[in-house]
Structures are given as C-alpha cells and as structure tokens.
Amino acid sequence: MLFCEMKNEWQSYEYLIELSISIILIDICIEEKCNIEGQPISVNDIPGMRCFDCTCKNGYVVCQKHQCEDIEGCYVLHQVNKNDCCAPCKAKGCELQDQIIDTNTHLVTIDDPCVTCSCSMENINCTKRVCPVLNCPSSKIVHDRDECCPRCLGSGKYLDPPNGDCLLDMQVYRNGSHFILDDCTDCRCTDTVLHCSKQSCPVLRCKREHQTITPGYCCPQCKYGTEMNLRPKPNRVRVGTTTTTTAKTTTPSSNPNKQFSDSHGIDQISNQHTNTLKDTKVFESEDYYDDYVESQNEYEDYAKPLAPSSSKRKANCVVDATVHKSGQIWNTTACQTCKCYDGKIDCKPLMCPAVTCPKNKQLRIPPDQCCPVCSSAREPQAAQQEQARTCTVFGGSHFRSFDGKMYSFIGSCKYQLVGDCDSGTFNVRLKNSVVGNDASMKRISLRLAGARIDLQNNRNTKVNDRIVDLPYKLGKKLDIHETSDHIVIVNSNVGIKVLWDYVGFLEITASKDYRKKLCGLCGNYNSVPDDDLTTREGILVDDPATFAQSWSTDDVCHETRNYGIRGCDPKKDHRLCNYIKGPAFEKCSKRINVAPYYETCLRDMCQCQTDDLLCHCESFANYARDCRRLDILLPKWRKSVGCLV
C-alpha cells in the first residue's frame, strides 16, 4: 500500500487540533483503497504520521490523532523519549508502598495503622496518631488487630477523690503532683484533672512486627535489615528519629476523674491527636554515626527508668545558670534533646530523618543546624530555599498563587496581594491601571520590617514616603537593589522577598514559616490550590473577579471584571503562542506542562494592541522562569521566539 504526500493538509489538520477542534482526518491520499473493514493500518513509517491512529472504514483509510491522557491540572510531566506521542502526568498523584495516591486523598499505611498519608502537589505528608492515656486497669486494656490504639473493655463509673486528688488505674495521685506514667507519658494532677503529655514517635520504614523498643526509650526502631524500600550503601548507616513532639490527653474538668474499676466495668475517655511527622534521614558519613553511637553509650550509662513518686516536691535542674523545672524539655547547641526529672538531666542525641538527594545535590549541614539537608555547591542553602513558595503576577492580569492556582481578571483597583493574616508582620498591595482591555501594574506597596516601601513603574523607589537611591539598606531589616537587567529586588528579615521588573512581572517569595498564615490574591499557602479563591469573608468562589473584588483595599472599586477573549485573530494568535510548544522550550516541556501558559498567551494576544509585537512574551518569560527553578536553563529562548527587548 502506497501513501502519497499531502504535507500541507496534515499541517492544517494539526493546526485545527491545536484549536481543540475535534476532527477526523479522512482526506489522506492513498494509491490503493483498503478492503478489510475495521482493520488497523500502520502509518508509523510515514513522516509526520507517527502519532495518528488509522483504520479501514467504508473502503477508505480514516486517521485520527492519537488521544493522549488528559493533563488538565497537571503540574509536572514525566520525562519521555522523543519517539513517544504523549507525556503522561507525574504530579497528579504520589507513590507510597507501591500504591498510587491521588492528589488530596488520604491512605492509611499497611505497615502501621496509626500512620495516615496524603498527597499534595507531588509531596507525601504523613501524620501519626498519638494514642490517648487510658484511664482503666492494665488488665482491662486490649489492642485489637489492625487498630492503631488500644482500648478499655466494659463500662465505667465516676469516682471523686477528696482534696483535688486524681485517680488513675486505681491509684491516687495528690493534687499538684507530677509523675511519669511510662517511658512515653508524663502526667500532672491539677484540681482533680489529669493532664498527660505523650511523646509522638516517628514513622518507621518497617512493619510493626519488625520493630523493637530499647528499654528506657519510648519510640521503637526497626530491627537491623528490616527497613523497606531502602538499600544502604557501604559505610552508610540508617538511624531513626526520636523527635519529641508532644500531644496532650486531658480529662475534661466538667467530668473529673471518670475512673474505672473491676467491679463496675471499664470505659474509656480520650482526646485524639495527630502530629505531623518528618521523614527518616540517612547519615552520609561515618562521622555522624560515630557521634551517634558515642552519645548513645553515654546515655545508656546513666539513663535508668525513674520510679514515679507523688509524695514529694520534684527538684529542678540547673544548666549554665538556667533553671529547668522538673519535666521540662529543651534542645542543646550540641544537637541533643534534654529533659529534667527531679534534679537529674536526661539527654538523648537529636536524630535526623532520612533524605535522598538527587544527582545534582549532596548532603550538607547548614550553619546553626544539626541535621544535613540537600544542597548544591552553588546554592549552599538550596534545601531551605526549596521549602519557600512563590506567588507570581504577570501581564498585569494573570496570577499564580503560592499553591499553584492560576487565574486571570482585569481590574484597576488597589488589591491585597498577600498579607500575614495570623500576626500582621507584613502586607503587600498591588495598584493596577486599565486602558481598554489591557491591565498593567502601576505600583507595588509593601509594609514590612517597620517600613513602608513603594515601588513605582516610573522606577522611583520610596521608603516611608521619601524617594531613595538604590541600593538602599535599612540596617539588617531591609535591602533593596536593582540588577543589571533592571529588576528591583527587595529582601527583608521577615522571610519575604519581592522581585519586580517595573513592567509586567512580579514575584513574591514567602518562607515556610508562613504556611497556612497568609491571605489575599496569592492564596493561603496550604498546599491545596482548590481553596485559593477564598474571599476576604471566608467564602470559596469560582469567579476570579468576585474573588479579586473582595480583596480590594479601595473604599469604592467597581472596575474588576473577568478576563474575556474578544476581538481575536485566531490564525495570528495561535501562530505566535505556538512558539511555546516549539524547540525553544522543548528541553523544559517534558517537565512542566505548557498548556496553562499557552492559554494565558492566547488571552494576552486577544487583549493587546495590534502594534504590540511583544504581547506573547509575558507568558513565555514566566514559563522560562519556572523552568529555571527546576535547574533547566533556556538561555536563547528570547531570540528564538522574537522576544528580544
């Protein structure tokens, strides 16, 4: 069977497919007709037809472009070979214990029923339930198979000891006394109410039957050689964590001392708590392990279980002229966690969770920290920087939140871009101006580090209403400077960084300390993009204009509307915007989905003036910057797509 070339027709069909128009290719020229109805016909040897599926229909060869997986909402794509037609989505879900977890779903792990994991933006977050202190005799405590926490059998009865004392497990504890219930639990009796603090143990990478608890320690560890999915190299030792995160289980004051006895049956009171856990770390050097073993041996020499006592006042501990009360826990500069009990100090080495670094990173210990992190030679603090999030505004109308939500609107008001809605440490506002259908950034106002900074599009910079020359510093609180390519950068000591090109690109970076504390057009920084369009009144909406209007800071503002496409030239617009799908960005398109940036380019092209020859470049610049965050450099993209300034 021979095929004759009709390249122009193929190109026109591909162009229509780029416009998302569903079409069947039926005019491919064929010398001989087909005669086996429904038979698949291979066209892989024909240039340009590798990604088409063809069959015999009514005596003719009918071809249709191969349908790829829907990648809408996908953030990162799998790397594919150049002969593959489709790039499947990578970041819609996460892999855990050979299972795929969909984004924003939860899964109880097979190995430990106390651990629940969820997937958000390609990151797995696991929480471990802290079991309550049971107020019943130990003979009545049962632990069901496949259940996280033990429970009490039977029903209960209220008992009320005199003088504000407390009753636990048929034993009376005096009012004001402090005692250790077990290796994991400290309790205090206050006016008939028991307050118990229980240590949270880390998630282990081995099954429960392969875990062991060292006498005198709270948290279990994996037996040697039972860690799952981890293959240590020679001279690499795996060490678990003993981070002491506590949760309280309190008997409610309205029902004091609901106590249980054998004669009246047993019941249970508990408050359930979860503590967010970190991964387990791997020490890359034998030196770290030697220090760990030495400190463990020193600890085991004197750390013996202490008998509980409620009849005498506990002695304090004094360290470097600092008094620590009995039961108090503190961290030392020697990377140890210490606890005072009745005048004796119990210190344990601070264990580091395991982290596997990519090929271009290596483990380093940052200054003033105990645990190693992944970093590169040119970015010593890369691990810390990666934990920050960035909000981006480009083209005056397009926004991407800290959690990756992309939306657009047109407005000429003053808006709160982002603010610390928890403690009010900073605020960033945007003043827009609109001419026809074109919105542009006029001024960026910041309140942080005890100062007000105004960045204006005429390149003037004001600090506290006074024009200043750049670079400008305000002690160690504030640093404002301009780069060689005319980008102004504001660094502060409150974990906020602002970058602006004075025209159409603005970037705000917030440190991890602001997680779940922010509000405004940039969202709330909680790793859930679906709730980013939450109004000032706390209402989740679908309309970007309604959302943006709620964050207007003007007394009267009626000029916020949706970003509509009107007066477009489809042929010209698609031709220019298609550059982002071409060879200039091919190196990055296998990692970051180009679809949202392509759609943004189309919107821009429909709104710009006809004589604006760089209208398509704003979305391209934003895409190139996101590629750079993945260490993918595109140094010649501007020249390739006609975006030279």
Q: Report the alpha-carbon distance of residue 451 to residue 432 in Å, rounded.
A: 22
Residue range(s) defining the domain that contains residue 610: 570-640
pLDDT(251) > 50: no
pLDDT(509) > 90: yes
Could you tell me which residue, 20 or 81, shows the higher pLDDT?
81
Mean pLDDT for 383-404 is 76
Q: Which tens digit of pLDDT belongs to each residue from 157-166? A: 556 667 777 8
Say whether both 520 and 591 belong to one domain.
Answer: no
pLDDT at 231: 32
pLDDT at 142: 86
Query: In this structure, what token pair is assigned to residue 546?
Result: 């309604």
Say whether both 477 and 578 belong to one domain.
Answer: no
Say whether both 522 and 617 belong to one domain.
Answer: no
Domain for residue 508, yes or no?
A: yes
pLDDT(418) > 90: yes
Domain for residue 361, yes or no?
A: no
pLDDT band at 4 (very low <50, low <70, confident <90, very high): very low
How does DSSP assign 171-217, residue by residue? EEE-TT-EEEEETTEEEEEETTEEEEEEEEPPPPSS-GGGEE--TT-
Mean pLDDT for 453-461 is 89
When the pLDDT of each residue in the chain is averaged and rounded to a whole number, the result is 70
Query: In this structure, what token pair is assigned to residue 515?
Result: 């997680």
Say whether both 434 and 576 belong to one domain.
Answer: no
Range ranked top by mean pLDDT from 309-318, 437-446, 524-533:
524-533
Say whether both 189 and 276 belong to one domain.
Answer: yes
pLDDT(519) > 90: yes
pLDDT(217) > 60: yes
Domain for residue 374, yes or no?
A: no
pLDDT at 476: 86
Strand order in the sheet with 245-250: 178-182, 185-190, 193-200, 245-250
Which residue, of 529, 562, 595, is where some domain finishes?
562
Which residue, of 562, 580, 605, is where some domain finishes?
562
Secondary structure element (H or E) that encloses residue 300, with its range = helix 286-302
pLDDT at 270: 31
Say whether both 433 and 464 belong to one domain.
Answer: yes
pLDDT(283) > 90: no
Q: What percent of the chain has pLDDT over 90?
A: 8
Domain for residue 324, yes or no?
A: yes
Specify the pTM: 0.37
How does DSSP assign 58-126, residue by residue? TTEEEEEEPPPPP-TT--BBPP--TT-S---BSTTEEEETTEEEETT-EEE-SS-TTEEEEEETTEEEE
What CA–CA distances, in Å, run from 512 to 79, 246, 628, 632? Answer: 29, 22, 20, 24
pLDDT at 487: 85
Domain for residue 83, yes or no?
A: no
Q: What angle do CA 317, 323, 324 make, to 5 degrees?
A: 60
pLDDT(480) > 80: yes
Which is it for the CA torsion 601, 419, 431, 555, positive or negative? positive
Say whether both 283 and 173 belong to one domain.
Answer: yes
Say whether both 625 and 535 belong to one domain.
Answer: no
Residue 424: name the closest of 512, 478, 494 by CA. 494
Which residue, of 562, 594, 618, is where some domain finishes?
562
pLDDT at 479: 92
pLDDT band at 546 (very low <50, low <70, confident <90, very high): confident
Domain for residue 484, yes or no?
A: yes
Say whether both 345 and 196 belong to one domain.
Answer: yes
Say whether both 549 and 584 belong to one domain.
Answer: no
Q: Which residue has the tokens 């792990």?
A: 109
pLDDT at 97: 62
Into how many domains does the chain fold?
A: 4
Say whether both 583 and 531 belong to one domain.
Answer: no
Say whether both 447 and 543 belong to one domain.
Answer: yes
Domain for residue 312, yes or no?
A: yes
Domain for residue 37, yes or no?
A: yes
